[in-house]
A and B are shown apart, each in its own frame.
Chain A
Amino acid sequence: MNSLLATALPFVTEGPSEVSSVTNDASWFLENAWIIPLLPAVSFLLILFFGKRMPKKGAEFGIAAVGIAFVLAVLTGFSWLDHRDNFDGPLAESPSVTADDGHHDDDADHSDDVDHSDEADHSDEEALGVAVIDQDGTSSSDTVVLTVEAEGEGGGEHAYVAVQKSTQWLQSGGIEFNAGILVDGLSVMMLFVVTLISLLVHIYSTDYVSGDRRYTHYFAFLSLFTASMLFFVLSDNILQMIVGWELVGVCSFALIGHWWEEKPNSDAALKAFLTNRVGDVGLLVGMITLFFAAGGGQTFDTLAINNAINQGTVGHTALVVAAAALMAAVMSKSGQFILHTWLPDAMAGPTPVSALIHAATMVVAGIYMVARLYPVFFEGMQIGGSSINLLSTVGAITLVFAGLLAFVQTDIKKVLAYSTVSQLGYMAMALGVGAWTAAVFHLFTHAFFKANLFLGSGSVAHAVHSFDMKKSMGGMKKFMPRTYITFIIGSIALAGLPPLAGFWSKDEILVGTGGWGLFGGTGGNGAYTFHLLMGMVGAALTAAYMTRCIYLTFHGEYRGNDAHDDDHAHADDDDAHAHHGDPHESGPRILWPLYILSGFSILVGFLNLPKGLTGVPDSWQLRFEHFIEPAGASYFPAIAHGAPSWSLAIVSTAIALAGIGGAYWYYFVKVDGLAKQTGQHLTELPNGFVTTNKLARTGHKVLVEKYYLDHLYTGVIAGFTKGPLARATYWVNQNIIDGFINTTGETAVKVGRGVYDKIDQGVIEGVVNGSGKVSDATGEELRHINTGKVQNYAAILFAGAAVLAGAFIIALAL
């Protein structure tokens, strides 16, 4: 019973008292980071059960929980900075531990060995260069600190030591499933991003969705999402990652479909969930393959798997399969071409949700997963080899193709959604070319400026009650100057102009491609010239579509008053007084999150100034890389870093400026000029090349139809599965299988009837009836004796007695 309880309550045996000698080094915050996801989870339950009875309808629980979680995340972050710089791994002095002593050959044996998994794990960990600092014999909880050799060249450098703490979750078939946290730079960074943006979104939402039909539900799911996302980023094993991955998916489903009364919204929610499920097939297959190939069929532990791969003990085929399968998951979750189509549709959800889930956090789960399991991709996709690989190529294609789609959108959120897809393409590409830090850094900066842009678009939509830039916006600059400023800041950051955040991270990605044949390479993991070009094209596209978006939204004349044909603004149709008068600036609960995010959009880029940047002290350079990248850690592949290049920075900035210039010329000069000239409300040139040039028209059509992918998925694949295929299966069921059964049944009935008629009724009944008839006839004859007269009976009686007496006498005589 005891063990039953322990399993039921995973944390019951755990407490600060168990934290042993390492507490001085790995601080309380690092070891107890599991509290951070727990807070919003508790808040979810509180809102669910008590939310409706609270004065603020449950929002206060969410804000309080996420607020505390944010504070804890910040403190964890500081602890990490301290830990990274001051923690001497207990094994840092003994280099032998990291040596590959080939224990992994034993794995096959272990997998058969049901009863000794403990031992097997143990030896695995030793073999992998993991120091088990404290492992109490009772084993439901152990604190493990992983350490690695110090960075090669810098003698004074401290080792990169991840903090891991896990407890047994369940055990089945000799396999132990753990639940635990893994705290290192990457997860600390994600904790910060998720809690900060979640907090801002919570605050923003109290205004934005106030008076909503399901205000309390909304906050409940925000809390649940935050908890799931934090759970996901903290997980120390891939099983837990799967759990978190699916949970964020379902929260996304619930929030996209928040206004499920309208069918398009529930359709979008379904599409999101189902597309992600398709990717999840890859996730399951990939993770299972890793579990057996790299975890030896014994452990899901992320670090153990990474270690095993780094030591080269895992078969290449298995890695290729795992990487390819996981790629499908990345494509669906992180919206990579061709599984990206759900993401723009997901904009059906409330705008703060789009900012939190579909821009800043959940959609980067795929990127995060690749970053977390980087050795799998590094080896499986042979990233170090400069060859074209799936990850980088899909990323590059996504980057450009999604950027193009952003040009034909009229819905401001869809522009941002395609922009998100495109930026996610950047990240995937960066990971694919081996620029790990650049990808993670871009994830970091993108979260802020994209959240900023989404919330800004929400602010505008809140004022005009629509997301349609062409019909309901225009000239918003004069109504909403503050939103305008923050939106401009976000756009510049996104477009990658120096010195805002996007510039630095994008530049690093371009550096990471390492293929600047013209000016001499920048080094790195190989020359990915194609990807560099795609990155450049993407930069131009980004800058251009954001310029278009800004023009259509904020400049020109306000078009909201001339077309009242309510394209019903799904966001705020609760306000009955929708279009009365001019729109006005949003309130402080909407503006302050925008200010804060704008601040971050400006500043966070400086966290990772390139090495050797003139005029910047050394200690300010590559801070992000220093704290986040597990360079030299045994669970991280040896990646090379490209050298920063002025030429690259200048060219990419020039290209972005060219993009802006082109769009500016078209919209601000030509369109605006023509509009002023004619006094009409124009959003494009009436005789532009799209209308005149056949090729351009075709291209435009393809873009408007989103490369026909939706037709393929919804119409062809889903339609075929749901329609003909399902019906055919059911037809088979009813007519073939069931037909067989029914025919059998009917035949049996027919045979039975034959038997009944011929044999039963003919032969057997004949015999039976015959005997009946004989008795009948006998009875008919005999009934005449029965006169009913007592004396007759008496006479017969006496006669009988006399006969018997006679017989008796005769018998005696004989």
Chain B
Amino acid sequence: METLDTNNWLLTALVFAPLAGALLMALIPEKEEDAQKQWAIFTSLVTLGLGVGLLFTFDYDQAGKLQNFVDMDWIEVIGAGYTMGVDGMSLPLIALTVLVMPLVFIYSWNHIPSPGNPKAFLMLMLILETGMIGTFVAQDLILFFVFFEVVLLPMFFMIAVWGGEDRRYASLKFFLYTLFGSALMLLSFLALFFLTTDPATGEHTFNMLVLSESAGDGIVRSTQLIIFGGMFVGFGVKVPMFPFHTWLPDAHTQAPTQGSVILAAVLLKLGTYGFIRIAIPMLPEAAEAWAPWIGLLAVIGIIYGALGCLAQTDMKRLIAFSSVAHMGFVMLGISTLTDFGINAAIFGLVAHGLITGMLFFVAGSVKDRYHTLDIGRLGGMLVQAPKLGWILGFTAMASLGLPGLAGFWGEFPAILSAYNPAAGLPEETFRGYMVVAAVGTVLAAGYLLWLLQRTAMGEPSEEFANDPEITDVSTIEWIAWTPFLVLIVVLGIAPGIIFEVTDPAVVESLKGCLETGCEAARTAAEAAGG
């Protein structure tokens, strides 16, 4: 595939700027907390600047091609390269990452969770940022894997050190779960490596471009299925898909606010991104075989996540469970294997990042004020902190997929695409999924409004009625939140901003044999050959 390698330093700078910032942060003395925070904000703003530079230099007319492409030798012995590039599929996710991180740092200005030590906390988050951006730009499986794993440790420490009461259990669960998935994923990568040869050099390769190009050519179908299965578990855990989701509520609930926001806004995207960047383009035939099952798990996730939400008494845990449902919509879009559905999925990712991230911010601020997230004890937030209450209401509306706000464009097109999945997939089954997913929207409205009613509406309970700590949204919070709120509206009104960018890249990634269906393509090829 053709690539554009103008500005090939840009991605390297973008990926490693936060890491450099983290290393320099080590030089700032322990005591100078303000300087540390300023430095973290500065670093993330520099990264944001580089990201904006990327947005401006990106050639939107060629969004289907990898741009700012870098391809250098890295570990020659195993044929792993330092290969990076950006196309329309990864661009929105990078933009989301570089935007969210400064806001999280700004929010940290006066919200450092106990036991303090902002230096380490901020350094971890900067390292996290490198890992996340790296995952979205890597075009080599080993590089991808490295970045994918780089994300893991900082998050583990964030939960384990700055988390809630049950942090040790949650962090360990998060770590082991993900590592388990990663192991299978790595096996799949290795299998791909050994079973594919680069036609140009005749050697095995980890280059994702080459692997997508060959699209599983020459690999026996049953082997493809197994390889895809490994990736399915690896990415599915990270998504998280039912039934691999149980690490999520614990991690979210126990993580500090910043951790939850990053988890929701960016980390959950890595797995899904893996599906659309790696699993489907590289093994289209296996994807076709697996798709109905992915779709099934997706719709189970939708209903299951929603029901899980209804059973919660803790606000943060409820929001965490809602992620399971939302990711169900995303995976449903992906499982249709249509460009329309995958576009919807990417949109859903960005929208979910903004909306659920925002919800976690609100939850964090509620916790700061009320020192509890027990839904039964809260109430009357609209009276005591009206703006906070309205923001919760607004975000809840966005989350339940109200048209005109971002959530709708992740949800509705995903449902729409299920009516007409890719050729070769069982139509009736997917139409059934469509109806179930539509029912899921009712439940989504149910738990979100119920949450809103219990926490925001009504009169404040006696316990908190005269609590002076319960104040309205602070300036720092406004600064950190406004971009989220604005983007939720802007993307809701003009969703084309994202669809325009992703569409060519998605079409490119599906060009394997999915247009006609793999069975059909193979039969045709055999007929032509024989």
Seen from chain A, the residues whose Cβ lies within 8 Å of a Cβ on chain B are 1, 3-4, 7-10, 111-112, 114, 169-175, 242-243, 246-247, 250, 253, 257, 260-263, 266-267, 270, 273-274, 277-278, 280-281, 284-285, 288-289, 291-292, 297, 718, 721-722, 725-727, 729-730, 733, 737-738, 741, 745
Given contacts A260-B457, A285-B438, A721-B443, 6 further A-B contacts (CB under 8 A): A3-B60, A8-B490, A173-B417, A730-B311, A737-B246, A745-B176
Across the A-B interface, give the 7 residue pairs with the lowest CB-CB distance, nearest first: A173-B340, A7-B496, A170-B496, A726-B310, A730-B311, A243-B403, A729-B307
Contacts A169-B496, A172-B503, A745-B176 hold; do A247 and B435 have CB atoms under 8 A apart? no
| Least distance between A236 CB and chain B CB atoms (Å) | 16
Closest partner residue, chain A, to B439 (CB atom): A281
Within 8 Å by CB of A8, from B60, B339, B494, lies B494
Chain B residues near A174 (CB, 8 Å)?
339-340, 503
Complexed CA–CA distance, A242 and B503 (Å): 23
Assess the A725–B307 pair: CB atoms within 8 A.
Answer: yes
Contacts A721-B443, A730-B312 hold; do A738 and B246 have CB atoms under 8 A apart? yes
Chain A residues near B412 (CB, 8 Å)?
242, 284
Chain A residues near B415 (CB, 8 Å)?
284, 288
Q: Is the interface of A mostly helix, strand, loop or mixed?
A: helix
* B349 at interface by CB-CB < 8 Å: no
| Least distance between B425 CB and chain A CB atoms (Å) | 14
Within 8 Å by CB of A722, from B308, B438, B450, lies B450
Assess the B500–A171 pair: CB atoms within 8 A.
Answer: yes
| Least distance between B292 CB and chain A CB atoms (Å) | 19
Assess the A280–B434 pair: CB atoms within 8 A.
Answer: no
Complexed CA–CA distance, A299 and B173 (Å): 47
Chain A residues near B312 (CB, 8 Å)?
730
Assess the B497–A8 pair: CB atoms within 8 A.
Answer: yes
Chain A residues near B176 (CB, 8 Å)?
745
* B445 at interface by CB-CB < 8 Å: yes
Contacts A284-B412, A729-B304, A730-B307 hold; do A7 and B404 have CB atoms under 8 A apart? no
Chain B residues near A730 (CB, 8 Å)?
307-308, 311-312
Seen from chain B, the residues whose Cβ lies within 8 Å of a Cβ on chain A are 56, 60, 173, 176-177, 243, 246-247, 304, 307-312, 338-341, 343-344, 380, 382-383, 397, 402-404, 408, 412-413, 415-417, 419-420, 423, 434-435, 438-439, 441-443, 445-446, 449-450, 453, 456-459, 490, 494-497, 499-503, 506-507, 515
Complexed CA–CA distance, A8 and B489 (Å): 12
**A–B complex contacts, Cβ < 8 Å, 24 sampled:** A1-B56, A3-B500, A7-B500, A170-B494, A172-B340, A172-B499, A173-B503, A174-B503, A243-B408, A253-B449, A260-B457, A263-B457, A263-B458, A270-B450, A273-B445, A277-B441, A277-B445, A277-B446, A726-B308, A726-B310, A730-B307, A733-B308, A737-B243, A741-B246
Within 8 Å by CB of B307, from A173, A261, A278, A726, lies A726
Chain A residues near B310 (CB, 8 Å)?
721-722, 725-726
Chain B residues near A114 (CB, 8 Å)?
339, 507
Within 8 Å by CB of A175, from B340, B438, B439, lies B340
| Least distance between B333 CB and chain A CB atoms (Å) | 10
Most buried by A among B176, B339, B420, B500: B500
Most buried by A among B338, B383, B403: B403
Complexed CA–CA distance, A4 and B438 (Å): 30
Closest partner residue, chain A, to B443 (CB atom): A721
Complexed CA–CA distance, A104 and B420 (Å): 18
Assess the A111–B177 pair: CB atoms within 8 A.
Answer: no
Assess the B308–A274 pair: CB atoms within 8 A.
Answer: no
Assess the A247–B403 pair: CB atoms within 8 A.
Answer: yes
Assess the B403–A281 pair: CB atoms within 8 A.
Answer: no
Chain B residues near A173 (CB, 8 Å)?
338-341, 343, 417, 503, 506-507
Assess the A741–B403 pair: CB atoms within 8 A.
Answer: no
Assess the A284–B438 pair: CB atoms within 8 A.
Answer: yes
| Least distance between A48 CB and chain B CB atoms (Å) | 10
Chain A residues near B243 (CB, 8 Å)?
737
Assess the B496–A721 pair: CB atoms within 8 A.
Answer: no
Assess the A281–B441 pair: CB atoms within 8 A.
Answer: yes
| Least distance between A220 CB and chain B CB atoms (Å) | 11
| Least distance between B83 CB and chain A CB atoms (Å) | 27
Chain B residues near A281 (CB, 8 Å)?
435, 438-439, 441-442
| Least distance between B374 CB and chain A CB atoms (Å) | 16
Most buried by B among A170, A175, A297: A170
Assess the A274–B449 pair: CB atoms within 8 A.
Answer: yes
Chain B residues near A270 (CB, 8 Å)?
449-450, 453
| Least distance between A493 CB and chain B CB atoms (Å) | 35
Complexed CA–CA distance, A267 and B307 (Å): 20
Closest partner residue, chain B, to A282 (CB atom): B438
Chain B residues near A266 (CB, 8 Å)?
453, 457-458
Chain B residues near A726 (CB, 8 Å)?
307-311
Chain A residues near B339 (CB, 8 Å)?
114, 172-174
Assess the A721–B173 pair: CB atoms within 8 A.
Answer: no
Chain A residues near B343 (CB, 8 Å)?
172-173
Assess the B382–A260 pair: CB atoms within 8 A.
Answer: yes
Chain B residues near A288 (CB, 8 Å)?
415-416, 419, 434
Complexed CA–CA distance, A261 and B381 (Å): 10
Within 8 Å by CB of A729, from B308, B413, B438, B515, lies B308
Within 8 Å by CB of B442, from A10, A112, A278, A292, lies A278
Complexed CA–CA distance, A726 and B305 (Å): 10
Chain A residues near B408 (CB, 8 Å)?
243, 246
Assess the A170–B446 pair: CB atoms within 8 A.
Answer: no
Chain A residues near B445 (CB, 8 Å)?
273-274, 277
Assess the A721–B446 pair: CB atoms within 8 A.
Answer: yes
Assess the A721–B494 pair: CB atoms within 8 A.
Answer: no
Complexed CA–CA distance, A257 and B389 (Å): 14
Assess the B446–A274 pair: CB atoms within 8 A.
Answer: yes
Closest partner residue, chain A, to B506 (CB atom): A173
Assess the B496–A171 pair: CB atoms within 8 A.
Answer: yes
Complexed CA–CA distance, A253 and B383 (Å): 18
Within 8 Å by CB of A297, from B420, B449, B459, lies B420
| Least distance between B387 CB and chain A CB atoms (Å) | 12
Chain A residues near B247 (CB, 8 Å)?
741
| Least distance between B303 CB and chain A CB atoms (Å) | 8
Complexed CA–CA distance, A733 and B305 (Å): 10
Within 8 Å by CB of B500, from A4, A112, A253, lies A4
Complexed CA–CA distance, A277 and B500 (Å): 30
Chain B residues near A242 (CB, 8 Å)?
403, 412
Closest partner residue, chain B, to A270 (CB atom): B449
Complexed CA–CA distance, A247 and B311 (Å): 28
Assess the A291–B416 pair: CB atoms within 8 A.
Answer: yes
Closest partner residue, chain A, to B342 (CB atom): A173
Closest partner residue, chain A, to B343 (CB atom): A172
Assess the A257–B457 pair: CB atoms within 8 A.
Answer: yes
Assess the A170–B500 pair: CB atoms within 8 A.
Answer: yes
Within 8 Å by CB of B403, from A170, A246, A260, A727, lies A246
Assess the A722–B446 pair: CB atoms within 8 A.
Answer: yes
Assess the B420–A745 pair: CB atoms within 8 A.
Answer: no
Within 8 Å by CB of A280, from B177, B383, B442, B507, lies B442
Complexed CA–CA distance, A730 and B307 (Å): 7
Complexed CA–CA distance, A174 and B173 (Å): 42
| Least distance between A317 CB and chain B CB atoms (Å) | 12
Within 8 Å by CB of A277, from B311, B416, B442, lies B442
Assess the B404–A243 pair: CB atoms within 8 A.
Answer: yes
Chain A residues near B417 (CB, 8 Å)?
173
Assess the B458–A260 pair: CB atoms within 8 A.
Answer: yes
| Least distance between B118 CB and chain A CB atoms (Å) | 32
Complexed CA–CA distance, A4 and B308 (Å): 39
